[in-house]
Amino acid sequence: MTPDTETIRITYLDWVRRSAALGFVLVVLIAAEQMAVRADFWGAPGGGDALRYLFWAAAVAGAFMGRGLKKRGPRSDETDRLAASRSLSWTLVSLAILPTAVGFVLSIMTRSATDFFTMFLVSLGAYVMLFPHYKDWLDWASDHATHEEEEE
């Protein structure tokens, strides 16, 4: 059953308000990283070049995986389309923030603030790319039978 547009709008706005708190995670990670930079143990940048590339690849791969999830939408066997849209939206926003968390861990390991801020920029790009808009929720909540007929 497809929910009406007003129900989708109310649910979407509620989700946006709740998900705004996840943006606060980025601010907390920036503050924590800056405190770590100023700590006595920080020292000169270390090695870890191979590890750096592995972390970068994992973070960027997560963002592209989210892009594929966003295009595909919720699973077609979900009966509650709004719950499925909400769950997918949380997954997408989490995947967008993931590069910053990975960058934080990498910057602690390599003692390089550049790693953190590079990952922060990747995360901002992923956030812009993956953040689900109201139009996406309308598409996801619509009946999949109509989408399958359109594709054929």
pLDDT at 42: 61
Q: Residue 152 pLDDT more than 60?
A: no
Exposed, middle or buried by CB within 10 Å (0-12, 13-18, 19+), for 144?
middle
User: DSSP string spanning 75-136?
Assistant: -TT-S-HHHHHHHHHHHHHHHHHHHHHHHHHHHHHHT-HHHHHHHHHHHHHHHHHHPPPHHH
Binning pLDDT at 50, 70 and 90, where does residue 48 land?
Answer: low
On average, the pLDDT of the chain sits at 82
3 DSSP 8-state letter: P
- The pTM (predicted TM-score) of the whole model is 0.80
With 60 as the cut, is the pLDDT of residue 144 above it?
Answer: no
Give the separation between CA 1 and CA 145, rounded to whole angstroms: 11
How far apart are the C-alpha atoms of 123 and 60, rounded to whole Å?
A: 9
The residue among 101, 127, 115, 123 whose CA lies nearest residue 32 is: 101
* Sequence-distant (≥ 6) Cβ neighbours of residue 135 within 8 angstroms: none
